[in-house]
Chain A
Amino acid sequence: MTGEWLDIGWIDEIPLRGSRVVQVDGGDDIALFRTGDGQVFALRDRCPHQHGRLSQGIVHGATVTCPLHNWRIALASGEAQGEDRGCTPTVPVKLSGGRVLLCRASTLRAAA
């Protein structure tokens, strides 16, 4: 595979208001989220609090609630919301013709 973008799959493989992960050998998983209004976001699958798997949280609006201690993380920025402080790295992602494309460089960096 070459080019700037990695083709991950069809958008509807991610459940609405749900998440799927992309595994990167030797690194953190990347969590792909699909919101109720059909947007896609990608974050490292690590909560800034104690590394909870954000992919396993509940997605509402453009936010995910971490399954471990209920921190709310903004999907677009990776920032913790409300009183909590912390940020998880985002990965550029885009949709093209229903395909989900992840930024290649950032994805590979996740393994570094």
Chain B
Amino acid sequence: MKHDPIEPPAADAREHLIVIGNGMAGCRAVEELLARDPARYRVTIIGAEPLVNYNRIMLSPVLAGEKSFEDIVINDAGWYADNGITLLSGDPVAAIDRAARTVTTRSGLTLAYDRLLIATGSDPFVIPVPGHDLPGVVSFRDMRDVEAMLAAAARGGSAVVIGGGLLGLEAAHGLSLRGMRVTVLHLMPTLMERQLDEAAAWLLKSALEARGQTVLTGADTAAILGDGRVEAVRLKDGTEIAADLVVMAVGIRPAVALARAAGLDVGRGIRVDDHMVTSDPAVLAVGECVEHEGQVYGLVAPLWDMCRALADGLVGTPSGYRPAPTATKLKVAGLDVFSAGDFAVGDGAEDIVLRDASRGIYKRVVVRDDRVVGAVLYGDTADGNWYFDLLKRGESVAPFRDALIFGQAFAAESAPADPRAAVAALSDGAEICGCNGVSKGKVLACIDGGAHGLDAVRAGCKASASCGACTGTVEALLAWRLDGAVETGPKTLCRCTSFGHDDVRREIVAQGMRSIPEVMQRLHWSTPDGCASCRPALNYYLLCALPGDYVDDQQSRFVNERLHANIQKDGTYSVVPRMWGGITSPRELRAIADVVEKYDAPMVKVTGGQRLDIFGIRKEDLPAVWADLNAAGMVSGHAYGKALRTVKTCVGSEWCRFGTQDSTGLGVRIERATWGSWMPHKFKIAVSGCPRNCAEATIKDFGMVCVDSGYELHVGGNGGIKVRATDLLCKVATEREAIEMCAAFIQLYREEARYLERTAPWIERVGLAYVQSRLLPDADARAELAQRFWFSQQFTQDDPWAARAAGAEREHHAPMARFQPQEEMA
């Protein structure tokens, strides 16, 4: 039923302002109004929550046990009384009648307004999966949610938090402190992806895991399971995670139902102008429920600006709201994370990155036209506000740009520091390299002892040899001591790092690194996500170091390896199926002929590697082509990979009048054993049946020449750009020994050559004697190398074509969308 409007007390002829929403923006707007003109309006605040105005942000510390509800109250009952404000709490507004200028609450109370302010905030978004309404599923928005979580935590058990953004992580932290086993599920590949870049997100994830939380990224929730109460969460991939409590923190939606029902102009939020006035001049709106210039908000700082603009408008001195950049901080004790502005590198923007692995610090400042446009800080956020201030002021940082990343204390020093003078001033006892405990005195002694380059210093006293953070200081010491006559060492892996290939590999193994972002962090990469040179190298080094364990990063592979075919100049692909040892059959030939006709391949040719190459296949058709070839028993030939390519054979003893051994059979067996392996560069094998060497074994990476008494094994041949004939490694008597030697040699090459270094330049660099010393004298050492190769092979001998033909990574092949302009225009 509808009551008559409550009449204002006759004595009070002031305009009546009704505020819907007793939350952060609604009450702040009233505070701003009171500060300007306390007498102008008669104010009534109607709130759905049965509480006074509190600080919603602080719900996280309440959950974590760091604060109580009393600590987070902003305005207590006294404030309402002292300012003559009527508070109707626990009774939400159910309807607005704009024609009559009244609002009606759920309990049926109707009040008349002159001005109405809608400050209803947001509703948590609940993913509508089956089971989302089971008891035990909560969101994280208000005090009631916190009470429900605290009650669940008191019973112990497991909690699953869906959403790895700011809210989700704060909920997970609180629940974990309260003793629950916590799993965070995040749909995106990295945590807090809207605020953090990949490097910072990786550090954050590692830190949370170190605190005992389980963090699953790329986790898509399919259903919440339970009989009358939540028991588990099931992911789309079938994984089930036990849960006594599920917290949904996947996002918020502006609470616009009331406004929409009242016929106000509503987009994603309630549309307002710069003065927070809606499409009805008597109705204002403020806070997370509004949309201003297409933008909606989820942090308080801009809301405070809105409240100021709103109050200015209400007292007749309109100022207008202007959006400003925002900054985020994660409120998890001991984890310092800060992000502000735009940290995506766009046109003309430049990244300045500083990493300090020993202290767990990552800082990235994005500068465009000498102005700070964004910052991501992890581990040390002390300078967050300074960067944010520079960002908001848009001042030029040119005068201290070189020192910008070191923070305010450094950059503020007026004279740009001369690094040589700075190191000269250090005492001899000053520690230069924290990882290896090397003092300035030791570095100088090392330099004076003949180490005249960075590499020599690293080798001599280990300074800057571990994480590389002090590389700059060591270089400055070298420059100062040698007065600039510094020798430049072997090339670094690429311009993203000061380390060479060998150092990177050594540290990956020594420090047990497991992912590309981890290597980049620990070894102080100077770019956020590397470049086209270092990413494929790191991907290879990791997969070589962690067989079966490392998850290949497809985006760090050259297109040919990503698409398992060779890109051609016109953007089509060529497809080379494996022909074991160069042998084929009518069935295979028929399948190839059918593919050529069916997909209109313009050319098929016999390759220099004894196989057939089908040209001109469109990317979209690749999976279908592979399916057809698979059906005839053929698998990928890896003609595209830094991998085992072909094993060329000649006819051998089975047919040839000169043949001494079964070179064809051996070639097939060798290819079956070694195919699929990833290498620093491509790797080719050949087996000839006699010294006439028809398979050209002496220009292969590993060549076998059969003789009466056994097998001559040759290594390091190359027929390419610079022809190099093989060196004779050794001679063995049996096929079994030949195969073991081949495996051991491959593994030595895999573990020690630099990425993109073929066996020929590798052997020229390390010397044949070295390779022989590793493979010949010690049978156990050789067997171990071979064993490591066989171990890693068990994970790679899956035909990548079959997986793609079955639909894996479909997105590599299909266009995302297609447009037909003619139809469009018709």
Q: CB < 8 Å: which of B187, B343, B345, B558 contacts A58?
A: B558
Q: Are A21 and B344 in contact (CB under 8 A)?
A: no
Q: How far is A59 from B562 in the complex, measured between Cα atoms in Å?
A: 13
Residue among B268, B563, B818, B819 with the most chain A CB within 10 A? B819
Given contacts A37-B343, A62-B345, contact A23 B532 (CB under 8 A): no
Q: Are A56 and B567 in contact (CB under 8 A)?
A: yes
Q: Please give me the residue from chain A that is nearest to B517 by CB atom.
A: A36
Q: CB < 8 Å: which of B567, B571, B819 contacts A24?
A: B819
Q: Which residues in window 30-79 of A have CB below 8 A to B?
A: 32, 35-39, 50-53, 56-63, 65, 67-68, 70, 72, 74, 76-77
- Per-residue 0/1 for A70-112: is the Cβ within 8 Å of any B Cβ (1 yes, 0 no)? 1010101100000000000000000001000000000110010
Q: CB < 8 Å: which of B347, B562, B822 contacts A26?
A: B822
Q: Are A36 and B567 in contact (CB under 8 A)?
A: no
> Which residues of B are found within 8 Å of A59, using beta-carbon distances?
555
Minimal beta-carbon separation of A18 from chain B (angstroms): 5
B535 CB-CB contact with A under 8 Å: yes
Q: How far is A59 from B558 in the complex, measured between Cα atoms in Å?
A: 10
Q: How far is A32 from B346 in the complex, measured between Cα atoms in Å?
A: 15
Given contacts A8-B816, A58-B556, A67-B567, contact A20 B824 (CB under 8 A): no
Q: Are A60 and B527 in contact (CB under 8 A)?
A: yes
Q: Are B535 and A25 in contact (CB under 8 A)?
A: no
A13 CB-CB contact with B under 8 Å: yes
Given contacts A17-B555, A37-B343, A50-B569, contact A61 B527 (CB under 8 A): yes
Minimal beta-carbon separation of B20 from chain A (angstroms): 26
Residue among B198, B344, B811, B822 with the most chain A CB within 10 A? B344
Q: Which residues in window 761-800 of B have CB below 8 A to A?
A: none
> Which residues of A are found within 8 Å of B613, using beta-carbon distances?
none
Q: Are A57 and B818 in contact (CB under 8 A)?
A: no
- Per-residue 0/1 for B178-200: is the Cβ within 8 Å of any A Cβ (1 yes, 0 no)? 00000000011110011001100
Given contacts A15-B554, A36-B198, A61-B528, contact A68 B819 (CB under 8 A): no
Q: Are A1 and B824 in contact (CB under 8 A)?
A: yes
Q: Are A39 and B819 in contact (CB under 8 A)?
A: no
Q: Please give me the residue from chain B that is nearest to A39 by CB atom.
A: B344
Q: Are A67 and B559 in contact (CB under 8 A)?
A: yes
B531 CB-CB contact with A under 8 Å: yes
Q: CB < 8 Å: which of B343, B819, B821 contacts A22?
A: B819
Minimal beta-carbon separation of A89 from chain B (angstroms): 14
Q: Which residues in window 64-87 of B have CB below 8 A to A?
A: none
- Per-residue 0/1 for B660-689: is the Cβ within 8 Å of any A Cβ (1 yes, 0 no)? 000000000000000000000000000000
Q: CB < 8 Å: which of B187, B351, B571, B817 contacts A9?
A: B817
A4 CB-CB contact with B under 8 Å: no
Q: Are A12 and B815 in contact (CB under 8 A)?
A: no
Minimal beta-carbon separation of B436 from chain A (angstroms): 31
Q: CB < 8 Å: which of B198, B557, B571, B820 contacts A53?
A: B571
Q: Are B198 and A37 in contact (CB under 8 A)?
A: yes
Minimal beta-carbon separation of B808 from chain A (angstroms): 13
Q: Are A16 and B816 in contact (CB under 8 A)?
A: no
Q: Are A108 and B824 in contact (CB under 8 A)?
A: yes
Q: Are A36 and B529 in contact (CB under 8 A)?
A: yes
Q: Are A26 and B345 in contact (CB under 8 A)?
A: no
Q: How far is A25 from B826 in the complex, measured between Cα atoms in Å?
A: 14
Q: Are B819 and A23 in contact (CB under 8 A)?
A: yes
> Which residues of B are found within 8 Å of A67, using beta-carbon distances?
558-560, 567
B623 CB-CB contact with A under 8 Å: no
Q: How far is A6 from B816 in the complex, measured between Cα atoms in Å?
A: 12
B716 CB-CB contact with A under 8 Å: no
Minimal beta-carbon separation of A32 from chain B (angstroms): 6
Minimal beta-carbon separation of B125 from chain A (angstroms): 12
Minimal beta-carbon separation of A81 from chain B (angstroms): 11
Q: How far is A108 from B819 in the complex, measured between Cα atoms in Å?
A: 8
B536 CB-CB contact with A under 8 Å: yes
Minimal beta-carbon separation of A87 from chain B (angstroms): 12
Given contacts A16-B189, A58-B556, contact A25 B819 (CB under 8 A): yes
Minimal beta-carbon separation of B245 from chain A (angstroms): 27
Q: How far is A74 from B137 in the complex, measured between Cα atoms in Å?
A: 45
Q: Which residues in window 683-721 of B have CB below 8 A to A?
A: none
Q: Are B344 and A62 in contact (CB under 8 A)?
A: yes
Minimal beta-carbon separation of B188 from chain A (angstroms): 7
Q: CB < 8 Å: which of A22, A60, A72, A77 contacts B529?
A: A60
Q: How far is A8 from B347 in the complex, measured between Cα atoms in Å?
A: 23
Q: Please give me the residue from chain B that is nearest to A102 by CB atom.
A: B817
> Which residues of B are found within 8 Å of A36, using beta-carbon distances?
197-198, 528-529
B341 CB-CB contact with A under 8 Å: no
Q: How far is A60 from B351 in the complex, measured between Cα atoms in Å?
A: 12
Q: Are B347 and A74 in contact (CB under 8 A)?
A: yes
Q: Are B532 and A57 in contact (CB under 8 A)?
A: yes
Given contacts A15-B555, A58-B532, A62-B349, contact A25 B811 (CB under 8 A): no
> Which residues of B are found within 8 Å of A57, using beta-carbon distances?
532, 559
> Which residues of B are found within 8 Å of A51, using beta-carbon distances?
571
Q: Are A25 and B530 in contact (CB under 8 A)?
A: no
Q: CB < 8 Å: which of A15, A20, A39 contacts B815?
A: A20
Q: Please give me the residue from chain B that is nearest to A65 by CB atom.
A: B532
- Per-residue 0/1 for B529-563: is the Cβ within 8 Å of any A Cβ (1 yes, 0 no)? 11110011000000000000000001111111011
> Which residues of B are found within 8 Å of A24, using beta-carbon distances?
818-819, 821
Q: How far is A18 from B234 in the complex, measured between Cα atoms in Å?
A: 28
Given contacts A26-B821, A37-B528, contact A13 B816 (CB under 8 A): yes
> Which residues of B are found within 8 Å of A63, using beta-carbon distances?
531
Q: Are A61 and B345 in contact (CB under 8 A)?
A: yes
> Which residues of B are found within 8 Å of A39, using beta-carbon distances?
344, 346
Q: How far is A4 from B762 in the complex, measured between Cα atoms in Å?
A: 57
Given contacts A61-B527, A70-B532, contact A56 B346 (CB under 8 A): no
> Which residues of B are found within 8 Å of A32, using beta-carbon distances?
816
> Which residues of B are found within 8 Å of A107, using beta-carbon distances?
819
> Which residues of A are found within 8 Å of B821, using beta-carbon distances?
24-27, 108, 111
Q: Which residues in window 335-372 of B have CB below 8 A to A?
A: 343-349, 351
> Which residues of B are found within 8 Å of A97, using beta-carbon distances?
268
Minimal beta-carbon separation of A102 from chain B (angstroms): 8
Q: How far is A112 from B670 in the complex, measured between Cα atoms in Å?
A: 54
Q: How far is A38 from B529 in the complex, measured between Cα atoms in Å?
A: 12
Q: Are A60 and B530 in contact (CB under 8 A)?
A: yes
Q: Are B189 and A22 in contact (CB under 8 A)?
A: no
Q: How far is A38 from B208 in the complex, measured between Cα atoms in Å?
A: 22
Minimal beta-carbon separation of B767 from chain A (angstroms): 31
Residue among B190, B198, B815 with the most chain A CB within 10 A? B815
Q: How far is A108 from B527 in the complex, measured between Cα atoms in Å?
A: 36
Q: Are A25 and B822 in contact (CB under 8 A)?
A: yes
Q: CB < 8 Å: which of A26, A62, A68, A77 contacts B569?
A: A68
21 cross-chain CB contacts under 8 A: A1-B824, A14-B811, A15-B555, A16-B190, A20-B811, A20-B815, A21-B815, A23-B815, A26-B821, A35-B345, A38-B194, A52-B569, A58-B532, A60-B535, A61-B531, A62-B344, A65-B531, A72-B532, A74-B347, A108-B819, A108-B825
Given contacts A15-B555, A56-B571, A67-B558, 18 further A-B contacts (CB under 8 A): A6-B817, A8-B816, A9-B816, A9-B817, A12-B187, A14-B816, A15-B811, A23-B815, A23-B817, A25-B821, A26-B822, A37-B198, A39-B346, A61-B351, A62-B346, A74-B347, A77-B347, A111-B821
Of all A-B residue pairs in the complex, the 4 with the closest CB atoms, nearest first, are: A65-B532, A76-B347, A39-B344, A20-B816
